[in-house]
Amino acid sequence: MLDILQTFFTTFLDIILHLDIHLQWIIETYDIWTYAILFLVIFCETGLIITPFLPGDSLLFAAGAFAALGSLNLSWLFFIIFLAAVLGDFLNYSIGNYIGPKIFKKEKSLLFNKDYLLKTRAFYEKHGPKTIIAARFMPIIRTFAPFVAGIGKMNWLKFVAYNIVGAVLWCIVFLSGGYYFGNIPIVKENFTLVIMGIIVVSFVPLVKELMTSWWKTRGEKFDNI
């Protein structure tokens, strides 16, 4: 079992860090079906809470780099990824919206306390729009934010609007980043390091938010002493 898990993580890490090589192989092997594969990966990464580990930001950057080489059509790439991101988030929101009231029935449940649902709803009423947009640029949070928005019963029209805005900005930033910078010699020769850098930078907002929350909680504890 451990050998299987080790093989899985080794293979997954290899795919993530060498997206240029693997994406090139996919393009050469599947040609136009590459767009369908990219759609499926992004749709699952944003739409299913069980697959937050799939590549997102780095995949868009790599795809943009191949678009600059003419291997992929940038317009089609933008449309396919945008559509996958929007539909993925909407699926996640719908799932959260459907199961939220069912799992938060009990008033005093340890994990699914109804009070948590009310707090989540209040949070998304106040911070929902900026959360949905900002979450687009945070791995893992990107997968869970729409699900939690659904649980919190965020207004669906508002969710759809900011979901679209966030998806457009996400596609523009990372696809254009790969398109204009992915094939610069120093970037191309150190593509693995660039991908690692994108992954690290993508986690910065999440780490910053966690640290801010931790300091705020710590400060409140000291104030109550």
The reported pLDDT for the residue numbered 16 is 64
For residue 137, give the nearest of 191, 68, 198 by alpha carbon. Answer: 198
User: Going by C-beta distance under 8 Å and a sequence separation of 6 or more, which residues neighbour residue 189?
Assistant: none
Report yes or no on 67 lying in a domain: yes
Residue 52, domain member (yes or no): yes
- Residue 1 included in any domain: no
Looking at the domain assignment, is residue 191 inside a domain?
A: yes
187 domain residue, yes or no: yes
At 62, is the secondary structure helix, strand, or coil? Answer: helix
213, 196, 207, 183: which is closest to 13 by C-alpha? Answer: 196
pLDDT for 130: 81
Give the pLDDT score at 52.
85
**Residue 131 lies inside a defined structural domain of this protein:** yes
Confirm whether 11 is domain-assigned: no
Does some domain include residue 9?
A: no
Residue from 130, 33, 142, 138 nearest 86 by CA:
142
Domain of 116? Answer: 29-212
| Global pTM value | 0.79
> What is each CA distance from 91 to 46, 97, 170, 218, 219, in whole angstroms?
9, 10, 18, 36, 38
Structural domains in the chain (count): 1
For residue 126, report the phi and psi dihedrals to the nearest 5 degrees.
-95, -45
Q: How does DSSP classify residue 204?
A: H
Contact between 45 and 51 under an 8 Å Cβ cutoff? The reply is: yes
- pLDDT per residue, tens digit, the chain (225 aa), is 666 656 656 766 666 656 767 888 899 999 999 999 999 999 999 999 888 888 888 899 999 999 999 999 999 999 999 999 999 999 999 998 888 766 665 555 544 555 555 565 666 666 677 888 888 888 888 888 888 888 878 888 999 999 999 999 999 999 999 999 888 888 877 877 877 787 777 767 666 665 665 576 665 555 555
